[in-house]
Chains A and B, each alone.
Chain A
């Protein structure tokens, strides 16, 4: 961990301004991801701006009938919120499938969206990694890739985004609200929030460096059966091999987003038309163009079988 200086921001605008002022600075929320990475010098900020005291820890109804989730709402509180559990069950379930109780007590909504990959080579600091050290190469390709991405990958990076929460939010068409140092606010649809790796896997989101997340909004509830199924090697406290977030309506139509397969929560809206015809057709369309490695080809089969099981559960 490099030595760093520390300040507490008093407002979102001040936080954004502080980050803009100092090139080597970062926000810290729960710190559950950032501090781990700092200890390994994967992240090396010289200055931390603590955003915990900004009062962004409320969940409010929006005029449109949706919910506005403050950026600092803890994963535990979000999962326990009555409205979330009633109207956005897929989100509550995704949250509870993630990490552990202790971590969820600390982890925030914004921090969860921005958590970094779990590619093992990203953590092996003696190894080349384009995400950790742009241009150094990708040690994972040709190596141990069982956990890594099968679709939307590039020759520069095949890592996945590890969040469960974000997968459910993708299915719910959440919108990320931000503010910049110059005061401009924007609303970024979650579909555009995370990026594919392309040639610049170190650039992971659509955010500018001085952009600060204030909230995530959920559109009005869409009803349907909400299922989140996370497939993993042990019963708890493990990242997904594949996860499926689904909202399925009575007529068999619905939405599906996948975790564990790509550099972002993976959803193909056009493919959802296939859902009433069953998992096989739908998953073929969702994962059309997948380029798995030898080690992770199973994820394609697994995703299809998991979706079949999820659809059965939603119907049942």
Chain B
């Protein structure tokens, strides 16, 4: 189905099942531990051996020798494959660093061996017996130091948020010079880790030349092509299966060493191999959100109207990598005739940077929305009023492109009322409760709505049961449930008559889970397949398909009605289709919006910041399931608090690695950090976006949160921080004396 004109009314609009806060249909299996994750699929292949991956102990250089004698002789060892056994493997287009093979070490903990043994402990133990000799080379590990050598970058980050080279509208420099009120500040964000619960894990089994990978991957079709490319085998010979995924946040968008080394280990061992990347490898072996250094300049008239806005961002990556697209939102969020955005990319020898939840906007808004707060203060205007003055209903770089929907002002106003914004003192450092300096902050949330082609197959059986098959993944987001709701709505059956099967590369290729495109696009694909199935059913029953109503497990047309299953008969029926998008995304700017409100307490003596309450008001198209959408948003808000206050991969700039490579050293928020969260979804349907009229929310929830925390901290203390995470050491010298 081609979607190239705005949606008109369709069966989804009935909202009998879609739009209801139903529980996750996979919930009971998750909570009873019977939803098996990749590493737990004990029954999919007999005689599984255990693999353990060894990572390089240097940041850059070469492996000159590996002594595996002791490891090979260790109890239980079945096979060892080292990086010296083969030339550097090919790599798929989505990987920057090589995943295995050859002597070169491009980054710390790059995989250099896999040990396969009868037990997990034996494999891990033997891996530690491998003696490795290295020739170290000096590396580039310090973003700020490499900044002057950075090149202008164009961005195709792989997960959207693209922005071309240096982008200019009007005359930024001239307008900025003339602006009566201005700001020119630099903000930094650190490298961050996805830190999801389930590590990268795979069971691999060969059957002759065909390879099956039971794995944990967000993008099945990408994974399949990249496995084939990396191992040099035909794509048809590869099957991926990933029905349950314990979180990804972008860390599992791409093929990683777990899948490649499970496959190589299984080949060498001549039996199935399961392995998971040990927690320390997650930071340095896999991808991370790259650090940024962002300069923002804003010029405005005394009435608050922005006349000049510039956002330039520097980030680093391995040779051949891409930039963090941190300027993406600045192209679209506020009006202003004279604009400049640019990204620079430095070559670093740190592990590969890549997408993490809301790549681009998440760190970009951490800078832009603090700059907006600072600017509002310089102008003497309330931060919400300042944003309202600069609202735009069209793409400011291309004014003939309207936003499909844009309710930023409503988000901010609704939030202000619900949060009690009027009680905030415009002068910082005014409110004290016992030990705590208390402040409120606001930030706009913004994330583009990306659409991706997505396919699905829908089966109908003789009893009226519906089964959906698509390689879409559920990374804890609720895909199973919203897909079931979509099929139930379309086919007129109760939710419990729908079975959803996901994550298998033998199913139709879907949008996958990334860039908050998954919910809208994958359900639109299911919609398309259901439209086809409905037509086939009507035809088989001899009904006029335009008239046919699918409800209560029946099909009705005029005076006739028949049970749905009757059409399917004993053999069942099946329909398959893919939703494909035309140029609506070019003609309209599709984005999602939020108002983020945060209240913090800052300990007046120690500078410890604790969030007291948070509110997000979101305008993101039709909300397919308010319960799972809320879960996504509060999870993202929590991650935003982490980014604001504690998350940082600490770089050892001498040796080139992230030092705090476990969950004790890389702190993320715990329950005690998140006392009270509220989420409001504004009523919105967006017919430009898809037949579902929905958009993404899973990333919107993090976009702007960090800045709202920063602004609240400023409001509490009068200390302005521009370097994340905003830990107490960065302000302790600037806090008032303790009495």
CB atoms of B650 and A234 under 8 A apart: no
Report how far A308 CA is from B729 CA in the complex, Å: 17
CB atoms of A305 and B655 under 8 A apart: no
Report how far A185 CA is from B739 CA in the complex, Å: 48
Report how far A279 CA is from B660 CA in the complex, Å: 33
In the bound complex, residues from chain A placing their C-beta under 8 Å from that of B121 are 1, 3
CB atoms of A298 and B654 under 8 A apart: no
In the bound complex, residues from chain A placing their C-beta under 8 Å from that of B58 are 126
CB distance from A133 to the nearest CB of B (A): 13
CB distance from A89 to the nearest CB of B (A): 18
In the bound complex, residues from chain B placing their C-beta under 8 Å from that of A234 are 645-646, 667, 669-670, 672-673
CB atoms of B728 and A1 under 8 A apart: no
Q: Does B398 sit within 8 A of A, measured CB to CB?
A: no
CB atoms of A236 and B671 under 8 A apart: yes
CB atoms of B650 and A3 under 8 A apart: no
In the bound complex, residues from chain A placing their C-beta under 8 Å from that of B646 are 233-234
In the bound complex, residues from chain B placing their C-beta under 8 Å from that of A231 are 606, 608, 728
CB atoms of A123 and B673 under 8 A apart: no
- Asked if A235 meets B738 with Cβ closer than 8 Å, knowing A143-B654, A241-B728, the reply is no
Q: Does B695 sit within 8 A of A, measured CB to CB?
A: no
Q: Does B571 sit within 8 A of A, measured CB to CB?
A: no
Interface residues of A in 282-316 (CB under 8 A from B): 298, 301-302, 305-306, 308-309, 312
Interface residues of B in 703-739 (CB under 8 A from A): 725, 727-729, 732-733, 735, 738-739
- Asked if A236 meets B650 with Cβ closer than 8 Å, knowing A3-B75, A121-B659, the reply is no
Which of the residues B128, B606, B645, B661 comes within 8 Å of A41, measured between beta carbons? Answer: B128
Q: Does A2 sit within 8 A of B, measured CB to CB?
A: yes
Q: Does A127 sit within 8 A of B, measured CB to CB?
A: yes
CB atoms of B667 and A233 under 8 A apart: yes
Report how far A1 CA is from B671 CA in the complex, Å: 32
Q: Does B662 sit within 8 A of A, measured CB to CB?
A: yes
In the bound complex, residues from chain B placing their C-beta under 8 Å from that of A305 are 605-606, 732, 735, 738
- Interface bits B653-682 vs A (CB < 8 Å: 1, else 0): 011010111101101011111000000000
Q: Does B652 sit within 8 A of A, measured CB to CB?
A: yes
CB distance from B412 to the nearest CB of A (A): 29
Report how far A1 CA is from B126 CA in the complex, Å: 9
Q: Please give the number of chain B residues whose Cβ is less than 8 angstroms from any Cβ of chain A in the complex.
A: 45
Q: Does B124 sit within 8 A of A, measured CB to CB?
A: yes
Q: Does B149 sit within 8 A of A, measured CB to CB?
A: no
Q: Does A124 sit within 8 A of B, measured CB to CB?
A: yes
In the bound complex, residues from chain B placing their C-beta under 8 Å from that of A106 are none
CB atoms of B606 and A123 under 8 A apart: no
CB atoms of B659 and A143 under 8 A apart: yes
Report how far A143 CA is from B659 CA in the complex, Å: 9
Interface residues of A in 164-183 (CB under 8 A from B): none
Report how far A41 CA is from B670 CA in the complex, Å: 28
In the bound complex, residues from chain A placing their C-beta under 8 Å from that of B297 are none
Q: Which residue from chain A places its CB closest to the CB of B653 in the assembled complex? A: A143
- Asked if A235 meets B660 with Cβ closer than 8 Å, knowing A305-B605, A308-B738, A309-B605, the reply is no
- Asked if A139 meets B125 with Cβ closer than 8 Å, knowing A146-B650, A305-B606, the reply is no
CB atoms of B732 and A302 under 8 A apart: yes
Q: Does B626 sit within 8 A of A, measured CB to CB?
A: no
CB atoms of A139 and B645 under 8 A apart: no
Q: Which of A139, A142, A236, A298 has the most CB of B within 10 A?
A: A298
Q: Does A237 sit within 8 A of B, measured CB to CB?
A: yes
- Asked if A279 meets B738 with Cβ closer than 8 Å, knowing A139-B655, A234-B645, A234-B667, the reply is yes
CB atoms of A144 and B650 under 8 A apart: yes
In the bound complex, residues from chain B placing their C-beta under 8 Å from that of A302 are 606-607, 728-729, 732
Interface range, A side:
35 or more
In the bound complex, residues from chain A placing their C-beta under 8 Å from that of B75 are 3
CB distance from A102 to the nearest CB of B (A): 13
CB atoms of B606 and A236 under 8 A apart: no
- Asked if A306 meets B606 with Cβ closer than 8 Å, knowing A234-B667, A236-B671, A312-B738, the reply is yes
CB atoms of A142 and B654 under 8 A apart: yes
CB atoms of B671 and A146 under 8 A apart: no
Report how far A235 CA is from B602 CA in the complex, Å: 12
In the bound complex, residues from chain A placing their C-beta under 8 Å from that of B168 are none
CB distance from B721 to the nearest CB of A (A): 14
Q: Does A58 sit within 8 A of B, measured CB to CB?
A: no
- Interface bits A71-92 vs B (CB < 8 Å: 1, else 0): 0000000000000000000000
Report how far A152 CA is from B198 CA in the complex, Å: 40
Q: Which residue from chain B places its CB closest to the CB of A298 in the assembled complex? A: B729
Q: Which residue from chain B places its CB closest to the CB of A302 in the assembled complex? A: B732
Interface residues of A in 1-31 (CB under 8 A from B): 1-3
In the bound complex, residues from chain A placing their C-beta under 8 Å from that of B57 are 126
CB distance from A136 to the nearest CB of B (A): 13
Report how far A61 CA is from B435 CA in the complex, Å: 37
Q: Does A238 sit within 8 A of B, measured CB to CB?
A: yes
- Asked if A237 meets B728 with Cβ closer than 8 Å, knowing A144-B650, A232-B608, the reply is no
Report how far A302 CA is from B604 CA in the complex, Å: 11
Interface residues of B in 584-619 (CB under 8 A from A): 603-608, 610
Which of the residues A118, A126, A233 comes within 8 Å of B727, measured between beta carbons? Answer: A233
Report how far A283 CA is from B260 CA in the complex, Å: 55
Report how far A127 CA is from B728 CA in the complex, Å: 28
Report how far A121 CA is from B435 CA in the complex, Å: 35
Q: Which residue from chain A places its CB closest to the CB of B725 in the assembled complex? A: A233
Report how far A126 CA is from B58 CA in the complex, Å: 8
CB atoms of B670 and A237 under 8 A apart: yes
Q: Does A137 sit within 8 A of B, measured CB to CB?
A: no
Interface residues of B in 50-102 (CB under 8 A from A): 57-58, 75
In the bound complex, residues from chain A placing their C-beta under 8 Å from that of B654 are 142-143
CB distance from B598 to the nearest CB of A (A): 15
Which of the residues A144, A236, A298, A306 comes within 8 Å of B670, measured between beta carbons? Answer: A236
Which of the residues B610, B652, B662, B738 comes within 8 Å of A143, measured between beta carbons? Answer: B652
CB atoms of B652 and A235 under 8 A apart: no
Q: Does A66 sit within 8 A of B, measured CB to CB?
A: no
Report how far A308 CA is from B607 CA in the complex, Å: 13
Report how far A201 CA is from B645 CA in the complex, Å: 33
Report how far A41 CA is from B659 CA in the complex, Å: 18
In the bound complex, residues from chain B placing their C-beta under 8 Å from that of A134 are none
Report how far A314 CA is from B669 CA in the complex, Å: 30
Report how far A305 CA is from B732 CA in the complex, Å: 9
Report how far A302 CA is from B657 CA in the complex, Å: 28
- Interface bits A221-241 vs B (CB < 8 Å: 1, else 0): 000000001011111111101
A residues whose Cβ falls under 8 Å from a Cβ of B: 1-3, 39, 41, 118, 120-121, 123-124, 126-127, 139, 142-144, 146, 229, 231-239, 241, 279, 298, 301-302, 305-306, 308-309, 312
**What would 17 more interface pairs be, CB under 8 Å, given A233-B728, A298-B733, A305-B732?**
A3-B75, A41-B128, A120-B659, A124-B657, A124-B661, A231-B608, A233-B727, A234-B672, A235-B610, A236-B672, A298-B728, A298-B732, A302-B607, A305-B606, A305-B735, A309-B603, A309-B604
B residues whose Cβ falls under 8 Å from a Cβ of A: 57-58, 75, 121, 124-125, 128, 280, 435, 603-608, 610, 645-646, 650-652, 654-655, 657, 659-662, 664-665, 667, 669-673, 725, 727-729, 732-733, 735, 738-739
* A-B CB proximity, top 9 nearest: A126-B57, A309-B605, A235-B672, A298-B729, A236-B672, A308-B738, A144-B650, A144-B659, A120-B659
